[in-house]
Amino acid sequence: MTTILVTGATGSVGTRLVPRLLRWAGAQGSSVRVLVRDERKAAPLAALGAQVVAGDLTEEADRAKALEGADAVLNVAAALRGVPDEDAWAVNRDAAVALGRQAAKAGVARFVHTSTNLVYGRELGRPAVEDDRLAPHPAWGVYAASKAQAEAGLRALGDELPLVVARLAFVYGEGDPHLAQAAQWAATWPAHQRLAVVHHADVAQALWRALTAPGIEGRTYNVGDDAPLTAWDVHELNGRTHPGTSAQTPFDPWEGQMSTAAARRDLGWRPLYPSAWSAAEAGAA
């Protein structure tokens, strides 16, 4: 591949992914292009060698400009919490599918789309696997629903789009406040309820492998570490004490949990940080 287009480059995942991507792609003689609304936020990435295209992912002309000459696309853009529902639908579903359609017409060789473990339903009685039906629970809100519908829309493009999907667990690490924020709502969980997580470094290496591994078009991969955190762990990692919600509070022990066997088998992927505790010990939490 020669030019990789990345969306969401100035977001939580993107700011930690793109510097790594620049190193890995550069070692292979490839370049990285980022589509951003605010060029100032992308200045640190530009200083590292990223090509910066100013534009809005929701605008057709801006997508076309960013796609010109691109050989691969890594769609990391996401509207998560704290945005109006219509914005989440516009970015997570509508713009993602439109980008996929335009990328297919542009003839890209690989389109990697980041999704979430929240697209799976509840009460599976086991870790979710990639072939499970997508049935996000309404309690998970528009983010999960929009991501599930984006996947469906991209799949509907069929063989026109060389699609690979990466479904990420709860992403944390490297100063990301995500895990600290999790303590706010984990306080309402039973202390033993579990949260599937994955470190930014492991997200980056999974997405790079999804971009470069041969012959995986059409496949989906779950990406999460080896040791889900309990609500108690979330508090401990944040230097807090869980309030001790009754252990009798009903919950599904498999909710949000997923198998990563396919990523290990097909991509040769292994988490650098098998648990958030190992990341904390390494100073990378």
Q: What is the pLDDT of residue 249?
A: 62
- Whether residue 29 is contained in a domain is answered as yes
Q: Average of pLDDT values for 35-48?
A: 97
- Whether residue 235 is contained in a domain is answered as no
Q: What is the pLDDT of residue 100?
A: 98
- Whether residue 248 is contained in a domain is answered as no
- Taking the C-alpha atoms of residue 235 and residue 252, their distance in angstroms, rounded to an integer, is 20
Q: What is the pLDDT of residue 139?
A: 87
- Whether residue 245 is contained in a domain is answered as no
Which amino acid is residue 217, in one-letter code?
E
First to last CA, the chain: 32
Q: Average of pLDDT values for 185-201?
A: 93
- Whether residue 246 is contained in a domain is answered as no
Total structural domains within the chain: 1
Strands 72-75 and 229-230: unpaired
Q: What is the pLDDT of residue 244?
A: 80
Q: What is the pLDDT of residue 185?
A: 87
Range of the domain at 40: 3-171+199-224+258-271
Q: Average of pLDDT values for 164-187?
A: 94
- Taking the C-alpha atoms of residue 222 and residue 264, their distance in angstroms, rounded to an integer, is 10
- Whether residue 48 is contained in a domain is answered as yes
**Where do runs of H (alpha helix) occur along the chain?**
12-27, 43-47, 60-67, 85-88, 96-106, 141-155, 178-186, 200-212, 231-237, 261-267, 276-281
Is 154 exposed, middle or buried, given 0-12, 13-18 or 19+ CB atoms closer than 10 A? buried
Q: pLDDT tens for residues 225-265?
A: 999 999 999 999 999 999 886 555 677 889 999 999 999 99
Give the whole-number percent of the chain exceeding pLDDT 90. Answer: 89
- Whether residue 281 is contained in a domain is answered as no
Q: pLDDT tens for residues 63-100?
A: 999 999 999 999 999 998 788 999 999 999 999 999 99
Higher-pLDDT residue of 1 and 229 is 229
Q: What is the pLDDT of residue 155?
A: 98
- Whether residue 141 is contained in a domain is answered as yes
Domain of residue 61, CATH code? 3.40.50.720
- Taking the C-alpha atoms of residue 135 and residue 120, their distance in angstroms, rounded to an integer, is 5
Q: Average of pLDDT values for 176-193?
A: 90
pTM: 0.96
